[in-house]
Structure 1
């Protein structure tokens, strides 16, 4: 009996960027309306400022970094919620992608490392949302220092895996898209770090723009997993089940596969 397809999972990689990007811009709009930050279009800052009520008095504390947008209530509450739900979806997508690669390609240390990095990134993202930068700066920066590099490494390894798994022209096209996103993300991440450690207002503002761009770029990368998630089936979940239950001495042929494809999966799992 063939395993049933579960095409509904294709919505998960699309939901993550749609939900997170929309939610982050809502947080930005709330922070802007409450005069907690200055708009991204502003490039004029002052050393000191008594009031931000008219929207024209901006200091370095009002630069619209992502962390600053979710720093004060009420927007900080929504920021924490978005980061937590986003981290959960990142973990779920990483788990399904891990199973998908095993099912269609076989065991790979690149796949295992990418899976671990994805979950570490989710942990860092949770810390970023839970500890606001002005109230728990050390923990917030630890979370950011974990989330940003691991997300970069995750998309880098996934780009490599995409090319290795390509069996048709569309797989190469997806690989090209992911490579472009990866290279662009690397450049933006480096620029963001370089600008952030500078003291100039303009460079700090550029760091904020790079930070927003990098996050959106990574989320779009996650959205490209919809190309593969449309063929997820119950067999994909069977891979995860066998991976968690199979002993190290497990050998292929100890159980009767339901389909030739399932037999192939069992042989692949035995190689881990």
Structure 2
């Protein structure tokens, strides 16, 4: 007969002493390793994907619209009041253009099949924008910077995403009012978001590289501001040339904002599980959701600690110390 394995009592002096002191050796009593908040470097893919997917997508939409004779190419500056019906030549752009053929981004995505891709880009891009805004919001809080600027940046970023959904799903030639409402929301909200993020970048900057990134973002924000203002000024004129210039400025603004979102790759390499928890807990706190039990204790621990120690997670460990929970282990 084989001998039964001898089990070590859970109330052994070694385990009890270790449990009471809450030292890192505690989990070794149960054959478990201690959880550490290692950087989730996979998050660096999110900002890059947002920029690459959106910029590539809108240029594909533009190319499809040009080839399908729905808009004129951006290098065309000659427009007519009216045009006679011309025979479409596959693979060649239109030769006679009117003001309806100006290659505004919204105009490029007005008709199928490119309108389908345009809606997809708007919806997917809006989702990724919200994810970037939430992670950045939590990351700034994690560095003990709880301020109205960070909250305003989160609100403006989510508003920008809402406007993107409206722009992408309500085409300008089929639902003009809703489309213009979406454009009137997403452009100013996007500009406000990048401006607030410039301020936050300076606030949390520590190294020379951090300040260099802040300077780059200021340059991008300045370019976005100038291009948006010029686009609005040119758009209200009836001149064909100025309308075409407004379209170019709109393209510059959109690409500029998307490149700005891509720069968050610099910070997202340090996102950890604790960063995610900070964002979720703060979101629940502001929405009035009461978190109890261990989650509430973790919220208090996060709020007291604020700034993580380099390369690790928060040092506060909250455990349920009742005998029943130990017996379950």
Structure 2 partner of 1:38: 72
Structure 2 partner of 1:236: 275
Structure 2 partner of 1:199: 238
Alpha-carbon distance in 1 for matches of 2:229, 2:298:
51
**2:54 is aligned with 1:20:** yes
- Go from structure 1 to structure 2 and tell me whether the alpha carbon gap of 1:198 and 1:7 turns closer, same or farther (over 3 Å shift): same
**2:255 is aligned with 1:255:** no
Structure 2 partner of 1:108: 147
**1:149-228 paired onto structure 2 within 5 Å:** 149-228=188-267
Residue-pair matches, total: 263
TM-score for the superposition, normalised by structure 1: 0.91
Alpha-carbon distance in 1 for matches of 2:70, 2:298:
63
Alpha-carbon distance in 2 for matches of 1:255, 1:141:
46
**2:297 aligned counterpart, secondary structure:** coil
Segments of 5+ residues of structure 1 without an aligned counterpart are: 268-272
Alpha-carbon distance in 2 for matches of 1:20, 1:60:
26
Structure 1 partner of 2:169: 130
Contact between 1:105 and 1:165, CA under 8 Å: does it hold in 2? no
Cα shift at 1:171: 0.9
Deviations 1:57-103 (A, max 9, x none): 10000000001100111111110110111111001100101001000
Contact between 1:195 and 1:207, CA under 8 Å: does it hold in 2? yes
Contact between 1:64 and 1:208, CA under 8 Å: does it hold in 2? yes
**1:133 aligned counterpart, secondary structure:** coil
Alpha-carbon distance in 2 for matches of 1:114, 1:149:
12
Structure 1 partner of 2:11: none
- Go from structure 1 to structure 2 and tell me whether the alpha carbon gap of 1:201 and 1:3 turns closer, same or farther (over 3 Å shift): same
- Go from structure 1 to structure 2 and tell me whether the alpha carbon gap of 1:93 and 1:257 turns closer, same or farther (over 3 Å shift): closer
Structure 2 partner of 1:264: 305
